[in-house]
Amino acid sequence: MAEIKCVDLCKTYLQGDAEVRALDHVTLDIEPASFICLSGPSGSGKTTLLNAIGGLDELDSGAISIDGERVDRLDGGALADLRLRHIGFVFQSYNLIPVLSARENVEFVMQVQGLPARERSQKARDILREVGLEGMEDRRPAQLSGGQQQRVAVARAIVSQPKLVLADEPTANLDSTSADQLMRLFRDLNDTHGVTFMIATHDERVMRYAKRLIRMQDGKVIGDDLQRPIDR
Partner 1 sequence: MTLLLRMAWRNLWRHARRTWLTVTAMIFSNVLLVFMIALQFGTYDMMINNTLRAFSGHLQIQAEGYQENQRIRSSIPSIADLARDTRGALPSVGVSARAAAFALASSEERSYGIQVIGVEPEYEPTVSTLPGLLAHGRFLKDEMVPEIVIGAVMARNLKVTVGDEITLLGSGRDGSFAAAVMTVVGIFDTGMAEMDRSIAEVPLPFFQEVFAMQDHGHQVVMALNDLDALPAATAAVLPLADAREGLVALDWVALNPGLKQAIQADMSSAWFMYGVLIVLVAFSVLNTQLMSVLERTREFGVISALGVRPRRLAALVMLETTLMALLGLLIGLALGWLVTVYFHQAGFTYPGMEQAAERFNLPSRIYPSVTFSSILLGPSVVFGFCLLASIYPALRLLRLRPVDAMRTVA
Q: Which positions lie near partner 1, rule CB under 8 A?
A: 51, 54, 56-57, 76-77, 80-85, 87, 89, 91, 95, 97-100, 104, 107-109, 111-112, 156
Are the beta carbons of 224 and 194 closer than 8 angstroms?
no
The minimum distance between CB 99 and partner 1, in angstroms, equals 4
For partner 1, which is the closer residue by CB, 125 or 208? 125
- Of the candidates 143, 131, 142, the one whose C-alpha atom is nearest the C-alpha of residue 170 is 131
The minimum distance between CB 102 and partner 1, in angstroms, equals 13
The minimum distance between CB 74 and partner 1, in angstroms, equals 12
For partner 1, which is the closer residue by CB, 6 or 109? 109
For partner 1, which is the closer residue by CB, 30 or 115? 115
The minimum distance between CB 225 and partner 1, in angstroms, equals 29
Are the beta carbons of 181 and 17 closer than 8 angstroms?
no
The minimum distance between CB 231 and partner 1, in angstroms, equals 33
Q: How far is CA 65 from CA 3, 71, 77, in A?
A: 8, 5, 17
Q: How many CA atoms lie within 13 A of 138 on its CB side?
A: 1
The contacts of residue 2 (CB under 8 Å, 6+ apart) are 30, 32, 66, 67, 86, 163, 164, 196
The minimum distance between CB 217 and partner 1, in angstroms, equals 22
For partner 1, which is the closer residue by CB, 112 or 226? 112
* Cα–Cα dist 201/61, whole Å: 25
Q: Is 192 exposed, middle or buried (0-12, 13-18, 19+ CB in 10 A)?
A: exposed
Cβ neighbours around 220 below 10 Å, total = 15
* H or E element, residue 204: helix 204-207
For partner 1, which is the closer residue by CB, 160 or 181? 160
* Cα–Cα dist 103/92, whole Å: 20
For partner 1, which is the closer residue by CB, 98 or 204? 98
